[in-house]
A and B are shown apart, each in its own frame.
Chain A
């Protein structure tokens, strides 16, 4: 009876205080490490590095050279690269021209 009472005794206020401080310090250190490595947990849902999407692009590329008929005044053009793909091969670029 006496032994079971002793084991159920609640910890003293000092133990609680120092236990809390220690737990806080450990959690704080872990969060600091995580933030400094660039993995902010509050951003993880929307902005974590998206997994690389591997797209299988089946692409048909036709290169046509249009040669104007002699004597015509219609406009001519250089080589035309024309293709249809499931996704654009590369982004467009804006630059001075």
Chain B
């Protein structure tokens, strides 16, 4: 059982592809990996808000209400709107102005962030985030027939909250027919292939405070994603700490009592949406969001809490061919 393993940087993160044996008539795994790598770089070039020449930046600059858009951009905007819908507006793709006001104006890839423990010590009292009262994201429409995106001029869109999950799912779709595969776009992971059901992948969940392995999930199919405060944290000019996950109701960084959330779902996009929504909601609502498919939340103090099916999974090692199982480490 050979597997091609390729790693590169894109979308401000590390991307890793593991591709098994090709099915009949499919290209060798190395060729598929190279094609996927090109796709992800193209995805990044078109949809990065940090690249002025990207199609996303062009959309946000455009003063027309109806803007011609490529199928990829329409798909990305559609994914962002679906995430907002799925999370009742908590994962809001229209907070572009607020996130820039908070100081996140350039890619922070490769930059060392401020210590999360210090930020937590100085953070305001914890409370759940809430959707924006005006729900601006509902003013976006996709007109696929005309190939246009319709929205009030000046209302910016940020695909950052859902882009990596969408990219992982799109690459995964292109790998149907390979014996098994993993697409890891900066921690938003999609797994598939018939052999993966028999020989599931081990996915390590990183602890946001210690950087150590908090848990190991064995996954034979579907998506897993993590949101956390440990990266992209900085000090504002006024000295307050800030991070990239904003409370849509206030436009301010959300401090909810959680520092990390990892979600399991059918797709990477859904897992990413659920993990962000859970982190923004705080512990109580996070347990409800993860009840069906399972997940893991990390409290401010560092305590790791398993939720849903993960909490019910036996805390013992299970034979590798047993499908989905959890292994506490």
Residues on A facing B (Cβ under 8 Å):
43, 46-47, 49-50, 73, 75-89, 91-97
Q: For residues 231 through 251 of chain B, which have their beta carbon under 8 Å from a beta carbon of chain A?
A: 231-232
Interface secondary structure of A, over-half rule: loop
* Inter-chain contact A75/B45, CB cutoff 8 Å: yes
* Inter-chain contact A96/B229, CB cutoff 8 Å: yes
* Inter-chain contact B3/A77, CB cutoff 8 Å: no
Chain B residues whose C-beta falls within 8 Å of the C-beta of A91 in the assembled complex: 201-204, 216
On whether A83 and B8 interact (CB within 8 A), knowing A94-B204, A94-B224, the answer reads no
* Inter-chain contact A95/B228, CB cutoff 8 Å: yes
The answer for the CA separation of A66 and B227 in the assembled complex, in Å, is 31
Q: How far is the CB of B190 from chain A (nearest CB, A)?
A: 10
Decide if B230 is an interface residue (CB 8 Å cutoff).
yes
User: B194-235: contact bitstring with A at CB < 8 Å (1 yes, 0 no)?
Assistant: 000000011111101000000010000000111111111000
Q: How far is the CB of A67 from chain B (nearest CB, A)?
A: 14
* Inter-chain contact A82/B205, CB cutoff 8 Å: no
Q: How far is the CB of A95 from chain B (nearest CB, A)?
A: 4
Decide if B189 is an interface residue (CB 8 Å cutoff).
yes
* Inter-chain contact B5/A85, CB cutoff 8 Å: yes
Interface secondary structure of B, over-half rule: strand
Residue of A nearest to B227 (CB): A96
Residues on B facing A (Cβ under 8 Å):
1-10, 12-14, 16, 18, 29-30, 33, 37, 41-42, 44-45, 53, 164, 182, 184, 186-189, 201-206, 208, 216, 224-232, 260, 262, 316-319
Residue of A nearest to B17 (CB): A82
Contact of B201 among A73, A76, A92 (CB under 8 A): A92
- The number of residue pairs between A and B whose CB atoms lie closer than 8 Å in the complex comes to 119
The answer for the CA separation of A92 and B229 in the assembled complex, in Å, is 20
* Inter-chain contact A84/B204, CB cutoff 8 Å: no
On whether A96 and B29 interact (CB within 8 A), knowing A77-B9, A78-B9, A86-B2, the answer reads no
Chain A residues whose C-beta falls within 8 Å of the C-beta of B184 in the assembled complex: 92-94
Chain A residues whose C-beta falls within 8 Å of the C-beta of B316 in the assembled complex: 43, 47
Chain B residues whose C-beta falls within 8 Å of the C-beta of A76 in the assembled complex: 41
Chain A residues whose C-beta falls within 8 Å of the C-beta of B317 in the assembled complex: 47, 49-50
* Inter-chain contact A88/B5, CB cutoff 8 Å: yes
Q: How far is the CB of A89 from chain B (nearest CB, A)?
A: 6
Q: Give me 16 A-to-B residue pairs in the complex whose CB atoms sit less than 8 angstroms apart, sorted by A's number.
A: A43-B316, A49-B317, A50-B319, A81-B5, A83-B5, A84-B2, A84-B3, A85-B2, A87-B3, A92-B18, A93-B187, A94-B206, A95-B230, A96-B206, A96-B208, A96-B227
